Structure 1
Amino acid sequence: MTTATPPRPHRSALMALYLGLSHLTPPLFRRVQTRRLAAGKEDAARRGERWGRDDRPRPAGPLVWFHAASVGESLSLLGLVETLRAERPEIGILVTTGTVTSAGLMADRLPEGAVHAFAPYDTPGAMAAFLDHWRPDLAVWAESELWPRMVHDTFARGIPMLLINARVSAASAQGWTRAKGLVGGMLTRFGAILAQDEETAGRLTALGAPAGRLRVTGTLKEDATAPGCDPVELGRLKALLTGRPCWLAASTHPGEEEIAAQAHRAAFDAPTLMILAPRHPERGPALADSLRTDGWRVARRAAGEDPGPDTQIYLADTLGEMGLWYRLAPLSFVGGSLVEVGGHNPYEPAALGSAILHGPHVANFAPIYARLAAADAALEVRGADSLAQGLAALSTPGAAEQQAARARTAAREAAGATRAALAAILDALPGKTDA
């Protein structure tokens, strides 16, 4: 697939209407920013970045700009960014996201030569200031974070554009159909679109993506490196838990914590410990209060508390430590799946040897969960009773280890998305050299 010839964009009345109205939206975005600052959801010291202003100089040489929505999308890019920097160290990297949480993670984990900035608001002035300052040689969008003004203005500057790791759920596609002209107008501006799966490819084609620029390459999460951890802290916690079995309820959402606690009570006697890592750690204090009201003895990681001999639930309400919990727990329930969220990433527990349990709502990662099911490498549960039964079954000698080994093999079968994305990036860069 080549992206050397600039694509011809589809023109739509909806795109023209959006672009016209975007001149009137700066006051709205200012009010949004004020509310988010008050709620602690914006970084006050970096508020100018939302308007395209940045005091840091643009790196010398070619610059690839990656744009992602938040934590999950930006983390999926890390392996690709690291590979690109390793193979083409002369290429600078800019990653933009929209949340404080993702900014913190990128600051900790981006390699040398890569910087993070907050994504500019979708206004003419913010986009002009952003593009004037950074002058990217290539723009790469991840998954489905498409803003019309951002897409239009980047294309208008003659900057080559890619959409990689594209994923569109059935619900999102149905919503986008109501603005098909607008979505199609954006999709035709990309020189290449790399979809995670055939379902997404079909939905994008129906929305107006040119079939000749679209192909299925799998998901970058399949190739993502396993999350790291502090080995000293891992050793310390293992020593604290000597003789105590444990299991992990990971990336849970409201409603799932209660189910996990019920299953824990039904499946295990003391001294088994449940490690609870909510998807949104800021819920930690309220969760601890609720669990204690229900009679549980809880220790909170964010409060500096360790699990003691009598602790029943260890609330892992911190960011960036999933690698620690998956290494510590031989069994993991992956949340967002007993409630209609769509499921979360099973690649990390698969890579780190933790056996996987999940609920029925896994549309966000349907292909990998289907592979895991076909390989008898994950266990679907439907509620507290079946979660308790699954935990008990996988706690028998050798059961968790055998399932985890099957999961690791199944998750590796579709690797290759990173190499496909890297090839598309190098092909699209102006003045490219052969890889």
Structure 2
Amino acid sequence: MSSALAKATLTGYRWLGVALYPLIRGYLALRTMRGKEDRSRRRERYGYAGAERPAGPLVWFHAASVGETIAVIPLVREVRRRGIHVVLTTGTTTSARVVAERLGDTVIHQYVPLDLQFAVSRFLDTWHPDLAIIAESEIWPLTMMELGSRHIPQVLVNGRLSDRTFARWKKRPFLADALFENLALVIAQSEVDAERFRTLGALPVMVSGNLKVDTDAPPYDGAVLDTYLAQIGKRPTWAAISTFEGEEKAAGTVQLALKPRDGLLTIIVPRHPERSDAIEATLTEMGLKVARRTRGDVLTPDVDVFLGDTIGEMGLYLRMTEVCFVGRSLFAQGGQNPLEPAMLGCAILSGGNVQNFRDSYQRLAKNGSARMVRDTEMLAKGVHYLLNNEDMRRTMIEAGQETVHEMRGALAATIKGLEPYINPLTVKARLLPRQQSRLQQ
């Protein structure tokens, strides 16, 4: 009965995609107008290839957005080191820029095809991947079923399931079983995530830790950093990063409260830079003077807020301070990754809504490198305390860096788990030049 229900549901999903196709075209056009889709490459979303498939074994990596892309880059480099070709798909223009900046032409980047039968089939007909590696929690029903029908192994790496996502799947166990059984292997971030995947029918499941800990520190332009630090001078700074709506106003309130006492400069890096005009308007209405990175504004003494309205420069912003609030945690749900600020030497403050990064926050808080705040008033007190207590700030910074060091090892564990799938491709890649040489003779 459950098998029949799952089949009926997936068939309905397939036909729903066909019915909604005209609306999807309009939706993509709207996203293009807003700069969220690459107009010149929009055909890739329908499965059309933007490059030729190279000869030899090929692995398809998929990472939805920037965070997932950065997490899998070391793994992608390891696969490429073995001579295996990689096509890496992402879903956003910002993640595409990260791929271009960090991997260049060592991989083939494509935008991920829509989860529609014709788009997925066209993509797979072109690329013929020998293995599909998916990052974190990207579960697309038609894509998974199509890979399964073609007997292409699919592995979920750095896997995690948020409370909300897990609860949603648990309500549909028949559908979870039908989809998760297609996964050849799940490599989960934590024991909690692993048990959740097992509950939903995934086997086998292993735990690696978080790949984001094994990534390189985010890059930065040293000359730009030196310029800003010279402009800041002796002013104390703090940063509110990966902020969502409401959290920028909270950061502005902290600035208003502390600047008269501390001469404070607040750095705000919104999760979605396209909101920056609205954020600046809100802060200006509060009586704050805003400088923006995209305008090249100088950080004069009367500037209250430096708005980091760019993508891919978190390494710059975090190196401008030692106190950092990580957003999507005070007025929004889920939290954002706290490991980068810990890695780069920041004492961390956060709201309590960090369900998506629970394991990381638990480890950081246990070691004394992260503190939770309930509201804007508590955030202001936390910032003031850390800026004026160097010993405590230094203790938290050192504890954070030690925690990150202790958490490393996910990359090695992930590669070990993937060896049964990658090793045959490595052999095939090494044999290919010999075979081509013989044919030419």
TM-score (norm: length of structure 2) = 0.91
Of the candidates 40, 44, 57, which is equivalent to residue 39 of structure 2?
Answer: 44
Q: Distance in 1 between matches of 2:408 and 2:363?
A: 13
Counterpart secondary structure, 1:65: strand
1:348 is aligned with what amino acid?
E
- C-alpha displacement at 1:32, in angstroms? 2.3
Aligned positions of 1:82-101 closer than 5 A: 82-86=77-81, 88=82, 90-101=83-94
Q: Distance in 1 between matches of 2:173 and 2:34?
A: 34
**Contact 1:160–1:429 (CA<8 Å) still a contact in 2?**
no
Q: Confirm whether residue 113 of structure 1 aligns to residue 106 of structure 2.
A: yes
Counterpart secondary structure, 1:200: helix
**Contact 2:51–2:108 (CA<8 Å) still a contact in 1?**
no
Q: Confirm whether residue 73 of structure 1 aligns to residue 68 of structure 2.
A: yes
Aligned positions of 1:199-278 closer than 5 A: 199-210=192-203, 213-268=204-259, 269=261, 271-278=263-270
Of the candidates 148, 151, 161, which is equivalent to residue 144 of structure 2?
Answer: 151
Aligned positions of 1:294-333 closer than 5 A: 294-333=286-325
Which structure's residues are more often helix, by fraction? 2
What residue number does 1:400 align with? 393
Of the candidates 399, 405, 414, which is equivalent to residue 421 of structure 1?
Answer: 414
**Contact 2:252–2:286 (CA<8 Å) still a contact in 1?**
no
Identity %: 40
Counterpart secondary structure, 1:382: coil
**Contact 1:194–1:215 (CA<8 Å) still a contact in 2?**
yes
Higher relative contact order (CA 8 A, sep 6+): 1
The runs of 5 or more residues in structure 2 that have no matched partner are 428-441
- Which digits, 9 at most, give the CA deviation of each residue in 1:200-251, with x for residues without a partner? 22222222223xx111211111212110101111111111112222111111
TM-score (norm: length of structure 1) = 0.92
What residue number does 2:162 align with? 169
- C-alpha displacement at 1:139, in angstroms? 0.3
- C-alpha displacement at 1:265, in angstroms? 2.6
1:14 is aligned with what amino acid?
T
Counterpart secondary structure, 2:64: coil
Q: Distance in 2 between matches of 1:350 and 1:98?
A: 27
Distance 1:263 1:391, change over 3 A: same
What residue number does 2:438 align with? none
The runs of 5 or more residues in structure 1 that have no matched partner are 1-9
Counterpart secondary structure, 2:319: helix
C-alpha RMSD of matched pairs (Å):
1.9
Counterpart secondary structure, 1:60: coil
**Contact 2:238–2:266 (CA<8 Å) still a contact in 1?**
yes
Distance 1:55 1:222, change over 3 A: closer
What residue number does 2:49 align with? 54
- C-alpha displacement at 1:318, in angstroms? 0.8
Q: Confirm whether residue 359 of structure 1 aligns to residue 351 of structure 2.
A: yes
Larger mean Cα displacement after TM superposition, 32-41 or 328-337:
32-41
Of the candidates 323, 330, 339, which is equivalent to residue 331 of structure 2?
Answer: 339
- C-alpha displacement at 1:430, in angstroms? 7.1
Q: Distance in 1 between matches of 2:104 and 2:413?
A: 21
Larger mean Cα displacement after TM superposition, 250-259 or 74-83:
74-83
Q: Distance in 2 between matches of 1:228 and 1:202?
A: 35
Counterpart secondary structure, 1:423: helix
Aligned positions of 1:6-17 closer than 5 A: 12-17=7-12
**Contact 1:177–1:207 (CA<8 Å) still a contact in 2?**
yes
**Contact 1:94–1:117 (CA<8 Å) still a contact in 2?**
yes
Distance 1:376 1:55, change over 3 A: closer
- Which digits, 9 at most, give the CA deviation of each residue in 1:29-83, with x for residues without a partner? 3232223223332111001101111241112322111112222221211222223
Counterpart secondary structure, 2:132: strand
Q: Distance in 1 between matches of 2:131 and 2:179?
A: 16
1:238 is aligned with what amino acid?
L
- Which digits, 9 at most, give the CA deviation of each residue in 1:156-188, with x for residues without a partner? 222111011111111111112233222221211
1:291 is aligned with what amino acid?
L
Counterpart secondary structure, 2:424: coil
- Which digits, 9 at most, give the CA deviation of each residue in 1:344-379, with x for residues without a partner? 111101111111111111111111111111111111
Q: Confirm whether residue 290 of structure 1 aligns to residue 285 of structure 2.
A: no
Q: Distance in 1 between matches of 2:390 and 2:120?
A: 58
